Amino acid sequence: MPAYNADLAKFAGFDAQVVGVSVDSIPSHIAWQKSIGTLAYPLASDFYPHGKTAQDYGVLREGDPIPGINERAVFVVDKEGKIAFAQVYELGEQPDNEDVFDVLRKL
């Protein structure tokens, strides 16, 4: 997620807004940012009802490992509210911002 922070100006150049969402609580987000650094974009909590947004997007992990968390996923939603890009990544994988920039160039 720090990679998104580093490229915020480039996202803005595409008239795009970065928003992070996880099933963790707000206090958990605060503690987590103390270890990785404060994010300069919104990080929403999908804590209650637990994982409702992740479930709606089909990325709430129900099996091993670590059931109850959301998958590492990236979605690009266009200005009409339609999903223009969706990709699920391995939990330890940092998605490449260029994948998203390629989609944004086409929008």
Q: Which long-range contacts (CB under 8 A, 24 or more apart) does 57-63 make?
A: 57/86, 59/88, 60/23
Q: What is the pLDDT of residue 39?
A: 87
* pLDDT, position 87: 96
Q: Cβ distance 88 to 80 under 8 Å?
A: no
**Residue 9 domain boundaries:** 2-106
Number of domains within the chain: 1
The radius of gyration of the chain from alpha carbons, rounded to an integer in Å, stands at 14
C-alpha triplet 24, 87, 46: angle, nearest 5° = 20
Domain with 81 in it: what CATH number? 3.40.30.10
| pLDDT confidence of residue 94 | 87
**What pLDDT shows up at residue 69?**
93
Walk along the chain (107 residues) in steps of 10 and give the mean pLDDT of each run: 90 95 90 84 92 96 90 95 95 91 95
Rounded to two decimals, the pTM is 0.85
